[in-house]
Structure formats: C-alpha cells, structure tokens
Amino acid sequence: MAPVSIRRILISESVDPCCKKILQENGIQVTEKQNMSKDELVAEIKDYDGLVVRSATKVTAEIINAADNLKIIGRAGTGVDNVDVDAATKNGIIVMNTPSGNTISAAELTCALIMSLSRHVPQAAMSMKAGNWDRKKFMGAELYGKILGIIGLGRIGKEVATRMQSFGMKTIGYDPITPPEVSASWGVEQMSLEELWPQCDYITVHTPLMPSTAGLLNDASFAKCKRGVKVVNCARGGIIDEAALLRALESGQCGGAGLDVFVEEPPKDRALVNHPNVISCPHLGASTREAQARCGQDIALQIVDMLKGKALVGAVNAQVLASTFSPESHQWIKLGEALGSVLRSCTTSKQPYGQVQVTTLGESLKNSSGFLGSAVVVGLLKDGSRSSPNLVNALTLAQETGITVTRNHGDGGQGPAQGSCVVEVSTNGSRWKAIGSVQGDIPVLLELNGSVFRQPVTLLGNLLFFKAAANPQLLPDVTGVLAAAGVAVESFSASAAHGGDRWCCVGLSSPLRDLGALKPLVKEAAQLSL
C-alpha cells in the first residue's frame, strides 16, 4: 500500500544525477533548484509533494508549514539534523534519510584523520610546500598498541573499529543501544564513559547530535582523559564542546584534534581551525563520488519503493507505516478509519474525547495494533480542519488534543471475535464501543455500543445510523422521511433489541440534508460518508 501519492518532487541541492533519473523513470516530475534563500524556498515548496535535500537546506517549521501539499522529505545522507522532524510529523509528512549511504566514506575519513594526527601528515606536507625540511618537528607516534575509544557503535563506528584494528589498535567503546555482545563480535569491548575516558589514546565520536550528546566531550571529560589524548569528530558539530577542546589543546591535555564538522559551518571563529594541532576539513565525510551516488540512488529508490507499496526504508518518524505494506493490511486500515469515523459521527455532540482504546483480536492481527490504532485516530479526528490527520501524525495530534490512546492485542478465541478490531472511546463521562472486521476484503461493522447487527454493516458509501425502540413501523416511517427528502434506501441492517432499543444502519443514495426530520422517530441519529 502506498501511504501517499507523490507527483512532483523538488531537489534543492546538488544531488547525484541518478536520483533525478530514477524518480523520473518512475513517473515523478522532478525540479532541481539550488542555492535558494529561505524565502524563495517558502514560496517554491507550495507546488510540490516531495522535497529532497542534503545538509545545506535547513527545512524549518516555517518552510514545512508553508508546504500545503508536502508529503515526504528525503535527506540524501545520514541523520536529519537539518530537518525539523517534529514539525514534519505534526503535519503528517514522512521524513526519511539514507542511513547507510555514506557509511564507508565517513568511516574512511575518520581513519584518515586518526592516521594524520598520529603522523602530522597535513602539517608536514604544508611545511614541504613552504620549502622546509623539518624531520624532527614532525616526530609522530605509531598506532600499533594504542587504544581507540569509539563513542557510538552504529554502522560508522563499526566500520572504523574494523579498519583501525588492522593497525593493531585496541578498540573500546560506548553505546547505550548496541548490545555489548554485538559489538564484542566485531572486536569492541563496551564500557561506561567513566571507564572509557582514562584509557584512550584516541577518541572518535559517531553519535547523532541530541541533548544527551551535545558537549559530550567537555572540560570535565577531558580532565578524565590521558594527557595528550587525540580526538576526532566526523559526526556532528557540537558533540565535542569547541571551547573546551580549545582549552584542552592550549593546556596540552588534548594532543590534537581532527575535525570535519563544526557547530557553525563554515566556522566564523577560526581559533580551532588555526590551531597548529588541529587538522580540519570542510565537512567532507560524505564527499566522495561513491557516497554521493549511493545516497542519491538510495533516497530515490526508497521513495519509489514506498510509492509502489514494496517497503518503507529509512523513515525516521513514520515507523507505524512499516507494517502497512502487506496486501492484507489495506482493508484493515480502511476499517480502522471507518470505525473511528462511525464513533466520531455518533459522538459529535459529546466531544471532546478523553481516552481511546484499540484492541486487536486474533492471531492474524497480532502485529497490526500499531497501524490500526493510528487509523482509528485518523477517523476520529478527521473533521475538515486544517490539521489533516494521517497515519504519520495521528498519535501526535491526539496527544495535543488531550486524548490518551492505548493499544492492546488479544488472541480472540475461536468465535466471531477472531480477526476483529474493538474500539472504545470515552467522552464526557460516557463510553462508546464499536467492533468491526474485514469480510471478503470489505470492512464491516459488527457491533455498536453492545448492539450486535444481524447482518454486518458494510462500511462504504453514505450511512445513516439511528437508535430507537424496537417497533415494526419504525423502518416504514424512516423510509418515508427519506423518500420525502429524495433519498433512496440502498441497504438496511438492524441489531437485536438491546435494553428495549436497537441500532439500525441504512445505506443511502445520498446524505440526508436535515437529520432533524428524524427526531420524532428516533432517540439518536448520525450519518457519515465513507
């Protein structure tokens, strides 16, 4: 299932030509416009369904909020630091990156900086170009037998470890996510940061930039390191506190730094760049022909695969969509939205909602509670306002609205509940419940507020629900009201009497303009179009 439809994509930076070629070959119109100002991008983005960037374009909340049709933001590279993911999620926009596209290039640059720090290669080369021959000035040190601390043991950290082990380095590391037994399988002993700092001759960082990693190497951590420790940052500017690094370099506590990234790029404060023990590069981690081709190809193929309903790869904010690509999930998503819409229509006068509980029943739905829960919330919140709910932003919008959403799964036994979805909502002290399923690829309603329909209600077209006392004359009277309004009855299903009342559902040729015409006949009435 393709969760979105993408017809036009804007590429706002220099991305490998294969990206445009792949997208166009799959029927997508592509426009390339580079070096746009923020105001120019705000004006331009309104015409596109998708945006592809690298790292220079800052996709801010202002840009996202101006993009009425935007459905996907693809970053041809690792991380999404330059994209306001929260704003994108709130607007129901998928954000994806290419997590492995520049892994090898970034790892190789890291290794090059470690080696350059150990042998002063750039400084020696510049000295030679200046006409000097200073062998003693550039006395270096072997990497063999030295200890390399790797902070962040993801794809790049792993590749750095395996390469530097070939130089005879001992590799230790820290990562709160990667299990120690996994990193041990490729030769990295994990430990706490407190244990790591004093052991390292070299430290390299490979984490995202987030509150927990900002300033990870600071005055306090440098003080715990060996005197003369050398550090490398090819990840994100800010992981190493730049002011603390400069102080450590000046005191000799840090013996050298290899920096490919900075807090401000390009850096206006040149103190670090100009320091004689710093080797710096202008953010070259992904700047290889191979990495750029791979990232351009990856982001294009990921978008195409998503649109063709094959898979969702690289999404950082739409994990709920990952299980929606099997053919059987299509109708269940429609069911979830339909159940939410039925309950919204029946409870319009009783809102706001407090809690929503979605329970999936049956072995076939054991992995479906995530997307079914989101689908139900989409149906509940779809009221025509500007905040258009979809599977990406449904839970975020629910939280902002004060709705608590819980999702559960049960085995369902062997009865009619096997393979069904139960939705319960609380609103202003009352609770409403709907149970539905998919029969013959068609979403149906089985039960509403304890009333079980004799014939499952097909959740398609224009539907009129009403609750009234059981009465043989009820249907003829309702049909008469509909006929007088020029509305034809296309289907009818009633529940067994429940507490003297029963729920009925009538399929209509068109919506009834005035529900008030039914007031003399029924206790409650609601209608919706699906």
498 is known as an active-site residue:
no
Residues 6 or more apart in contact with residue 503 via CB below 8 angstroms: 448, 449, 451, 453, 465, 466, 467, 494, 495
| Tokens 């081709």 found at | 293
Q: Report the residue count for the chain.
A: 530
Q: Backbone dihedral region of 53: left (phi > 0), alpha (psi from -120 to 50 degrees) or beta? A: beta
283 is known as an active-site residue:
yes
Parallel/antiparallel/unpaired status of strands 442-448 and 451-458: antiparallel
Contact (Cβ atoms closer than 8 angstroms) between residue 371 and residue 392 = no
502 is known as an active-site residue:
no
At residue 502, what is the residue type? R
Distances (CA, A) of 411 to 161, 250, 364: 45, 65, 9
SS3 526: strand
Distance CA(463)–CA(377), nearest Å, equals: 20
Distance CA(148)–CA(61), nearest Å, equals: 39
Q: How far is residue 397 CA from its own chain's centroid?
A: 15
Q: Backbone dihedral region of 30: left (phi > 0), alpha (psi from -120 to 50 degrees) or beta? A: beta
* 394, containing H or E segment: helix 394-401
User: Which of 54, 120, 206, 283 is labelled catalytic?
Assistant: 283
Contact (Cβ atoms closer than 8 angstroms) between residue 493 and residue 457 = yes
Q: What are phi and psi of 329, to 5 degrees?
A: -75, -20
Contact (Cβ atoms closer than 8 angstroms) between residue 52 and residue 11 = yes
Q: What angle do CA 328, 332, 336 make, to 5 degrees?
A: 165
Closest CA to 466 of 478, 455, 456, 454: 478
Q: How far is residue 55 CA from its own chain's centroid?
A: 18
Closest CA to 454 of 420, 491, 504, 500: 504
Distances (CA, A) of 181 to 186, 190, 353, 418: 9, 9, 46, 40
Closest CA to 436 of 358, 344, 352, 346: 358
At residue 391, what is the residue type? L
SS3 387: coil
Closest CA to 259 of 146, 147, 110: 110
Parallel/antiparallel/unpaired status of strands 229-233 and 254-259: parallel
User: Which of 75, 236, 294, 407 is labelled catalytic?
Assistant: 236
Active site residues: 236, 265, 283
